[in-house]
């Protein structure tokens, strides 16, 4: 299994809603990542987890809250988002220190209304 | 911080034609990575180049690394509709950074 599975594929949420994005991999990767990609822009790193611990937070607003409950799962909890947070959210996983060879999920297309 | 500039921004080619995409770094390249992304989907890792002068091929896609010029090129031979997508170069500084991407469209 060489897939990173993200759910849901699409999400529309209001600014007062709370929702979660989920990501799962079964490749034994101990590094997992969240990226945000705006239209016609490259992905931007948000968070990195190494051995289920948050190792990098790229100054992401607290309305985004990551969680890594175990080595296969990565969640991104969303609360009180703004319309400008609408984007494609990509999850990725890799062996440690191999971010450049990461496997990416298909992404969740998030629209905040 | 390291920045990657890709050119061209977009490209439309006739099926069967060859094309080249370039990626230039603002700093010394210690490794350069190429990815392909279908619109609205995740990235697919294509290949990694780590040594100056290194050249790698995957099917009809060839990438080269010119360390002195801090540049890499991606060349597609005899393009096909399946090659259409967004090609991104990436480099590993303190974190993985990407170029802005090159949108490739292949006309049948």
Among B9, B100, B24, residue whose Cα is nearest residue B69: B24
| C-beta pairs of A64-72 under 8 Å, 24+ apart in sequence | A66/A34, A68/A32, A71/A28, A71/A30, A72/A24, A72/A25, A72/A26
A32-44: pLDDT as tens digits: 999 999 987 888 9
Task: State which residue of chain A sits closest to B101, comparing Cα positions.
Answer: A42
pLDDT at A2: 66
Confidence at residue A101, expressed as pLDDT on a 0 to 100 scale: 80
pLDDT in tens, B36-65: 998 778 888 898 898 888 899 988 999 999
Q: Give residue ranges of B with CB < 8 Å to any A CB.
A: 31, 33, 40-45, 48, 88, 90-92, 95-96, 98-101
Q: Write out chain B's pLDDT in tens, 108 residues.
A: 778 999 999 999 999 999 999 999 998 877 889 999 987 788 888 988 988 888 999 889 999 998 888 999 999 999 999 999 999 999 876 677 899 899 999 999
Instruction: Work out the average pLDDT over A40-69.
Output: 93
């Amino acid at each position: 299994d060489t897939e990173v599975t993200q759910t849901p594929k699409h999400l529309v949420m209001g600014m007062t809603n709370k929702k979660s994005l989920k990501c799962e991999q079964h490749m034994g990767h101990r590094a997992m990542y969240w990226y945000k990609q705006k239209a016609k822009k490259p992905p931007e790193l948000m968070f990195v987890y190494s051995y289920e611990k948050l190792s990098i937070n790229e100054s992401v607003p607290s309305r985004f809250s990551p969680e890594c409950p175990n080595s296969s799962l990565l969640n991104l909890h969303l609360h009180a988002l703004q319309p400008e947070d609408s984007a494609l959210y990509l999850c990725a996983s890799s062996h440690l220190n191999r971010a450049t060879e990461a496997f990416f999920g298909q992404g969740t297309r998030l629209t905040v209304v | 911080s390291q920045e990657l500039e890709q050119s061209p921004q977009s490209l439309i080619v006739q099926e069967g034609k060859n094309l080249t995409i370039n990626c230039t770094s603002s700093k010394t390249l210690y490794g350069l990575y190429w990815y392909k992304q279908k619109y609205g989907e995740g990235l697919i890792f294509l290949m990694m180049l780590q040594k100056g002068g290194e050249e790698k091929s995957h099917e009809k896609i060839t990438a080269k690394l010119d360390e002195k010029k801090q540049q890499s090129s991606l060349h597609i031979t005899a393009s096909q509709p399946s090659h259409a997508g967004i090609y991104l170069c990436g480099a590993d500084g303190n974190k993985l950074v990407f170029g802005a991407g090159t949108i490739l469209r292949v006309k049948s």
